[in-house]
Structure 1
Amino acid sequence: MTHHLARDIRVLSETRGLERVAAGYAADAPSPPGWIKPGPAEVWIALSDQTWLRFVIAGEEIGGLWTLRLVLAAGLMLIGIAALGVWSARKVTAPLARFSLAAQRLGANVDAPPMSEEGPSEIRQAAKAFNGMQNRIRRLIEDRTLMLAAISHDLRTALTRLGFRTEFIADAEQRRKAAADLEEMQAMLQSTLMFARDDAATEPVTPVDLAMLLQSLCDDLQDAGQAVSYDGPPHLTYRGRPVSLRRAFANLIDNALKYGQEAAVTVAEKNNAIEITVGDRGPGIPESMRSRVFAPFFRLESSRSRETGGVGLGLTVARTVVRRHGGDITLDDRPGGGLLVRIVLPASPAVNP
């Protein structure tokens, strides 16, 4: 410290003709151990008359500089350690982030691109196992689809033969009932096959005006004399699968009209998400049954009869479509009575092109 101090004073004194400058500690100054320096420090400057001008600098002045250096060194060390820790943590968690993204893609689309098998040997092995699992799931779904197609062909052939045979029933009333049963069986078979094939998963993702899609559904039903209303923005661009979204919202609005006599549709953007609600004035659904109504073929017999209802796949299909877009669907009580179906879609949907 005194060496730098003497150098600085010498530089400043050269313009004054002062050539002899010295700095240091007094000979009798104590030398305690550790970071504490002896003091006070002294600076000697030789004058032209051969006398010396002596400056004494308090010890705490120089000690403060040492403290500053110590603090700066410790701060730089901490910054380096923190940067190294962040870099190490990212190196460790980056493969986990890739696995999480791959799992999300697989949940939305079983035909999503496989994971890249890169990185350390453990990561490559895990990625290879994940891709193998995805291939097995894909083959399982393909086998199921082929099996359902074969069953569908056989059942339709049998139903066609039964349809011809009903024409030979003498009793007109029984013939009408048999024809109605066959019609219902064909509708159930068609709905079941459409749900099992899940054609929505292969539909490409495109920009769609979600507000216009809902307004068109409401306008068509209003023209048919149904009690349907729309409240929301005139336009709302969204990236999704338009056919599957239209099918999902049509199912929800049809349910509201069948079992609640009206359908009030609202659309709003909230917290980086899009919220769509469909409300009716029907008897509603008990809270204990709200999770079960999304199961395939499940019905509430007390309020949703076979004469007025479908085959029990409307809510199932709607939730499947919404979840494929990264959102979710819930059921609540509507203020004033009735059921309120709430759909929340992320503004940036986690769907795969």
Structure 2
Amino acid sequence: MDFLRKILFPFSLIYWAVTAVRNFLYDKGIFTSHSFPVPVIAIGNLSTGGTGKTPQTEYLVRLLSGNYKVATLSRGYKRKSKGFVLADSSSSADTLGDEPYQFHTKFPNIRVAVDADRKNGIENLLSLFPKPEVILLDDAYQHRRVKAGFYILLTAYGDLYADDLILPAGNLREGRSGAHRANVIVVTKCPQGLSAEAQDIIVKKLRPEARQKVYFTCIDYDNALYSEEGERSLEAVSDVLKVLVAGIAKPKLFFDHVKGKSDIALAFPDHHDFTEKEIEDINKQTKDKLVITTEKDFMRLKGRLPKEKLFYLPIKSRFIAGGDDFDKTLLDYVGKSTANR
């Protein structure tokens, strides 16, 4: 891998130059960034994926939706629709993409929309009645046509952007200097017992600016598995034979948490669109086994595998420390922004 990175490094310099010029033109106002009269929060990363954007976005929905009319706006990666689409009762993973469809299913009290053109998407959301009071931009850190009021930059523990290279030699979509746009930096997928000393080492490696706060979160797994027909405790199926299916960027944590000695683990690319042949192969391996998948994959697999066998394991993002301060920082931003509208 190191040898391959050395070969690709010259191409990374070209990629870096292109993204650096683009960011410079936006920073200097030569390219126009559009602002809007509502709080807009962008959640994203510098890398190509696997930082836990979905649970972090859901955390913000839970934090804000009790007091504000919240909308999420995503690109709708791998959806089969085009342009602006607002979620409704006829929506599916095909029309919205798996993650927005998950938001729509879990949070019926918020607006969920998709549009690759985030400016157009926000304009469409603001034309609705009642219009949203807060807009969450999912995976929009590099979408510079929109100037968000607050940026949350995610980076995964054990895969920090400070240790990575730009594409194609590494996994960064832009240079590490792009971190300067963040209001806060969240290190995700940390071990639950990460010590204060270990956190300090990471902070020094990330080298945040004085105005930037760094927080640490871990993944909390639910104690139950859910299906279209009901739920079962995770403990109750610990000795049951299972086929684990994950189409996410970095499935190791999921497999490690669920997998028993005799279970089968099937890993697919992130946002994978399962073919009929793959569904047939999964069915053949299932027989007397349960199929356990991630919540995101469940959105694409339900209706295609026997519902009495197909279960998913929900996850949440939990702050190891400083959660109250993070909440206050976000609520203060939204409160001041709505008051100044």
Q: TM-score range by the shorter chain?
A: under 0.3
Q: Name the TM-score, length of structure 2 as normaliser.
A: 0.22
Q: Which has the higher contact order (CA 8 A, sep 6+)?
A: 2
Larger Rg: 1
- After TM superposition, the score normalised by the length of structure 1 is 0.21
